[in-house]
Amino acid sequence: MKLHDSLIGLLLIAFGGWVLWQAQSFPAMPGQMIGPSTFPTLLGGLCALGGLLLVWQGRRISRDELVCIHEGWRIGSRVACVAVAVFGTLLLGVTFETVGFPVGGTLLLSALFYAAGLHRARWIAVSAIFVLTVHLVMTRLLYVPLPSGFVKGLL
């Protein structure tokens, strides 16, 4: 998704303003003018200034439409694939400790293969073997405490 520069500029101005506003609530160091707000204030100000320049530059140079969407985003199956990747990963992130990597990872990868147009059952097997191999390598060889979740007793 491509946004017009002037629109991005406006977003940057708003964001810079928000940072400046937030920074004012940070306390100063005792006996000093300088403190936790100094750096964010500087950055927020620069961000708003950069946003202004981007608005000016966008209006001067480009007359494109405000929002331009890439061809690939108009194809339902591809959008579905990205949606599975994003929301699947988000769901896995939120439930990671409970569901665990072996089950959650296999489900995510299988769903992703399916959404990518790889419908055969062997892709479920590929997902399961990949996830189990990674899980075993990480937990047994590298001692990374990846949660086992539902299959805790089995692995």
Partner 1 sequence: MYADFDTVISLVFNWNMVIVMVSCSAFGLFVGAVPGLSATMATAILVPITFFMEPVPAIAAIVTTAAMAIFASDIPAALIRIPGTAASAAYIGDLNALTLQGRVGRALGISVVASAIGGLFGSAVLMLAAPQLAEVSLNFTSFEYFWLALLGLSAAVMLGSGSLLKSLMSLLFGLMIATVGMDTTIGHPRFTFGFATLLDGVAFVPALIGVFAIPELVRTFVNRERTPPAAPVGNPFRMFDGLAAVLWRYKANLFRGSVIGTTVGILPGAGSDIASWISYAVSKRFSKQPELYGKGSEESLVDACSANNSALSGAYVPATVFGIPGDSITAIVIGVLYMKGLNPGPLVFINKPNEVMAIFVTFFLANILIVPFGLLAIAQASQVLRVPKLMLAPLILGFCVVGAYSINAAASGIIIMLVLGLFAYLMEENGFPVAPLILGLVMGPLVERNLVTSLIKADGAPLVFVERPIAAGLALLVCVVWAVPAVMRLKKGRMT
Interacting residues with partner 1 (CB under 8 A): 1-3, 8, 12, 19, 22, 26-27, 29, 32, 34-36, 38-40, 43-44, 46-47, 50, 53-54, 57, 70, 72-73, 78-79, 81-82, 85-86, 89-90, 92-94, 96-97, 101, 105, 108-109, 112-113, 116-118, 127, 130-131, 134, 138, 142-146
User: Least distance in Å: CB of 35 to partner 1?
Assistant: 6
**Per the structure block, which two tokens stand in for 154?**
């089995």
Residue closer to partner 1 by CB (options 26, 150) is 26
By CB neighbour count within 10 A (0-12 exposed, 13-18 middle, 19+ buried), where does 32 fall?
exposed
Q: State how far the Cα of 152 lies from the Cα of 48, in Å rounded to an integer.
A: 51
The DSSP letter of residue 149 is G
Residues 39, 42, 48, 54, CA torsion sign:
negative
User: Least distance in Å: CB of 7 to partner 1?
Assistant: 10
Instruction: Bin 100: left if φ > 0, else alpha if -120 < ψ < 50, else beta.
Output: left
User: Least distance in Å: CB of 80 to partner 1?
Assistant: 9
Q: State how far the Cα of 42 lies from the Cα of 153, in Å rounded to an integer.
A: 53
Residue closer to partner 1 by CB (options 10, 96) is 96
User: Least distance in Å: CB of 86 to partner 1?
Assistant: 7
